[in-house]
Structure 1
Amino acid sequence: MRILILGTGGMANTHAKNFASIEGVTLAGGVDVDPSRVEAFCAAHNIERGFGSLDAALGWGQFDAVANVTPDSVHYPTTMAALAAGKHVFCEKPLATDHARAMEMTETAERLGLVNMVNLTYRNVAQLQKAREIVQSGQVGTVKHFEASYLQSWLVSRAWGDWRTESQWLWRLSKKHGSNGVLGDIGVHILDFAAYGAGSDFSKVFCRLETFDKAPGNKIGEYDLDANDSFAMTAQLENGALGVVHASRWATGHFNELRLRVYGELGSIEVQHRHDWSRLYTCLGQDAETGTWTEVEVDPVPTNYERFIDACRQGQNLEPSFRHATNIQKVLDMATVTDRERAEHAV
C-alpha cells in the first residue's frame, strides 16, 4: 500500500509517522508548494519522492491513496482532484468549509467506489469507543441529557507556540485564510465526540459564536483576526436527549481537553480526554442510588490510520466516512445560521 502525504505542516508529521508504522505501507511521496519544506519533510520521514504540486504527483501516479493534510479551504479542490485520478482519500477534518462542498466530495467518492475517510482523531480514544458500547448496550437506559466540551488555551499560553508570530496558528484566526474559527476547527471534533459517544446524531441546534479582541484593529500583518474564538451551543439529539456543547481557545489551564457526560434513566458515563491521558467513568446499576462513580480500564483500539489502510485493502469503506463528516458539517453550517438569526434550527 503506497501513500502520498499532501501538505507538510505539523499534522502531516503525525500522518507520516502513523502510516509508516503500519506493516506493508510505504510513504511514496510528499507534496508542498514550498520546495525546501517538502525536501526536509521527505528526508525526515524517508519518503521516496517530493513534489511541488498535487498535479505533478498525480501525473506521476505511483501511489494508491492520498492523506490530505492541507489547510481546511484546500480540502475540496485537492480531494476532488485525487478522487478524479482514482485515488482513495484520507482527509483531515473538516472535510470541507461548507455542507454543499462536503456533499459533492462524498457523492463523488461513493460514485467512484473509492475508500473515503475523515481523520476525526478522537475516534482513536479507546475510552470513547467503550463509552459508546455501554450506551448502545442499554446499560444507561434511555439517554436524557448530555454535556460536551472542548477546551484549548493556546490564545493565552505559548505552550504550543506563539500565535502572534507564527502563521501555522494565525491562519486559524482569519476567515480570508480559510478558517471557520473554533466552530469549524475543533467544533467538528467535539460534535463528533458527543454524537458518537451518545450514540445518536443531532436533530436541532442553537449556537452563539464570539470573537474577542486579540490585537490592535484585530489584525496582524495580512491576517484579519475575525474567526470565532468560542462557541456555546444547545442541542437535541435524534434520540431525544437535550444537551450543551461548548468550546474555546481561551480556556486558561486546559491545553487540549475534551469531556463528554451522557446521562440516562438508569445510569451515566463520563469520558475525559487530554493530550496526556484519557479516562472513562461510569455510574451504573445500584451505583446510581449512591452516586458512586467507577473508573473503567479499557484496551487500545485500532487508529483511524490503521482502519483506513484496512479499508483500502478490503475495498470496503469504514467510519468515520465522508458522509458522516458531511452530516457533521451540516450541523456546523446550521450553527452559524442560528447565531446570525438568533433562533434554533432543525438539522
Structure 2
Amino acid sequence: MRLLVLGTGMMAKSQVAGFLAIDGVEVVGAVDTDRTRLDEFADHFNIEKRFGTLDEAIAWGRFDAATNVTPDRVHHATSLALIAAGKHVFCEKPLAENYAHALEMTEAAEVAGVINMVNLTYRNVAPLQRAREMVLSGELGTIKHVEASYLQSWLVSRAWGDWRTESRWLWRLSTGHGSNGVLGDVGIHILDFAAYGAATDIDHVFARLKTFNKAPGGQIGEYMLDANDSFTMSVDFANGALGVIHATRWATGHLNELKLRIYGEKGSLEVIHRPNGSDLRGCFGEDIESATWRDIDVLPVLTNYQRFAEAVRTGKQDDPTFRHAANLQKVIDLAIVSEKERREFNLLAADTPESTVGGQEPESKGDEQGPALALVV
C-alpha cells in the first residue's frame, strides 16, 4: 500500500510510526499547509514527496490510500476529495463535525467502493476485543447494565502540556475553533468503547453537558472557552440493557483512563485501559456469591493500522467503518440537542440528520414522566 499522509501534526507522527511497522506499507507523500511543520515531519520519516495542498497531491496521484489527520472541521471536504479521486481513506476521529457531513462522507465512500475506516484507537485494546467475544458467546447471559467512563486530567495537570498557553489544547476548548468539547473529542471513543464492548447499539440517550469557567471572561486570546468540559449520559441499548456513560477533563488523578463494566445475568466483566496498560477482569460462577473478581488473560489483537492495510490489500472492508462512526456522531449530535432543549424528543432515524444539524428543531412532545431522547442507530 502506497500511503499519503494528510496533516502532519502530533497524531500523524503516531499513525505513521504504526503504518511503517507493517510489511508492504510505504509512506510516499505528505501534505500540510504549514511548510515548516511539513518539512520537519517529512525529514523525520524520510518522505520525499511534499505538498502544500491536497489538490497538488491528488494531481500527482501516485498513492493508493490516504490517512486523514487534519483538524476535525477539515475531515469532510478533504475526505470527499480523496474519495472522488478513488483513494481509500483512513480518517481520524471524529469522522466529521456533525452527522449530516458524516453521512455524506459515508455514502460517498460506499458508492465509490473505496475502503473507508475511522481511527477509533481503543479498538486496539485487546481486553475490549476479548470482552466483546465473551458477550457474543453468551458467557455473561443477558446484559442488564453497562457503565462506561473516560477520565482525563489535563485541565488540572500539566502532564500533557499547558493548555493555558498551547494552541493544540486551547482549540479543543473553543466551539469557534471547531471543537464540540469533551463530548466531540473523546465522547466518540467512550461511546464506541461501551457499545462495541457490550456488543450492542445505543438506542436512546439523554445527556447533560457542562462547561466550567477556566479564565477571566471565559476567554484566552482568540479562544472563547465555551466548549463542554464534562458530560453525562443515561442510555438504553438495543439489547434492552440500561447504561451510564460519562467523560470529563477534570478527573484529577486520571491522566487518560477508559473503564467499561458490563453486568449480565450469568457474570460481569470490567475493562480498564490506562497509558501504562490494559486489564480485563471477570466475576462468574461461584465467585458471584463472594463478589470475587479474577484477571482474565487475553491475546494480542491487530491494530486499526494493520486492518486498514489488509483491507486495502484484499479489497475487503473492515471495521470501524465510516457508517459506524457516522452513527456515533448521530448520538453526539442528539446529546447536544438533549442538553439544549431539556425535554423529550421523538426522532425517527430518517429524520435525524435534518432535524439535528439542518437548522430545524425536531418534533417534540411534552411528557410528565420527564425528559428523554429517542434514537435508533
Paired position in structure 2 for 1:151? 151
The list of structure 1 runs, each at least 4 consecutive aligned residues, that deviate by more than 6 angstroms after superposition, is none
Asked if the contact 1:29/1:47 (under 8 Å) is kept, the reply is: yes
Paired position in structure 2 for 1:2? 2
Spell out, residue by residue over 1:256-286, the C-alpha distance to the aligned partner (whole angstroms, 9 max, x if none): 0000000001100000000111000011122
Q: Secondary structure at the match of 1:79?
A: helix
Percent of paired sites with the same residue: 63
Paired position in structure 2 for 1:84? 84
Residue 319 of structure 1 aligns to which amino acid in structure 2?
D
Deviation for aligned residue 1:292:
1.3
Q: Does 1:101 align with 2:101?
A: yes
Residue 207 of structure 2 aligns to which amino acid in structure 1?
C
Distance in 2, Cα, partners of 1:327 & 1:98: 10
* TM-score normalized by the length of structure 2: 0.91
Distance in 2, Cα, partners of 1:51 & 1:58: 10
Paired position in structure 1 for 2:20? 20
Q: Does 1:223 align with 2:229?
A: no
Paired position in structure 1 for 2:373? 345
Paired position in structure 1 for 2:137? 137
Deviation for aligned residue 1:346:
1.1
Deviation for aligned residue 1:48:
2.2
Deviation for aligned residue 1:344:
1.4
Distance in 1, Cα, partners of 2:45 & 2:160: 22
Paired position in structure 2 for 1:286? 286
> Structure 1: which 5+ residue stretches go unaligned?
none
Q: Does 1:271 align with 2:299?
A: no
| Residue correspondence of structure 1 range 15-54 to structure 2 within 5 A | 15-54=15-54
Deviation for aligned residue 1:44:
0.6
Asked if the contact 1:205/1:331 (under 8 Å) is kept, the reply is: yes
| Residue correspondence of structure 1 range 196-275 to structure 2 within 5 A | 196-275=196-275
Paired position in structure 2 for 1:61? 61
Distance in 1, Cα, partners of 2:46 & 2:194: 38
Give the alignment's Cα RMSD to 1 decimal.
0.7
Paired position in structure 1 for 2:305? 305
| Residue correspondence of structure 1 range 158-177 to structure 2 within 5 A | 158-177=158-177
Asked if the contact 1:27/1:48 (under 8 Å) is kept, the reply is: no
Distance in 2, Cα, partners of 1:115 & 1:48: 25
Deviation for aligned residue 1:218:
1.1
Deviation for aligned residue 1:297:
1.3
Asked if the contact 1:75/1:91 (under 8 Å) is kept, the reply is: yes
Asked if the contact 1:126/1:298 (under 8 Å) is kept, the reply is: yes
Deviation for aligned residue 1:340:
1.0
Paired position in structure 1 for 2:116? 116
Distance in 1, Cα, partners of 2:64 & 2:42: 18
Deviation for aligned residue 1:289:
2.0
Paired position in structure 1 for 2:368? none
Residue 210 of structure 1 aligns to which amino acid in structure 2?
K
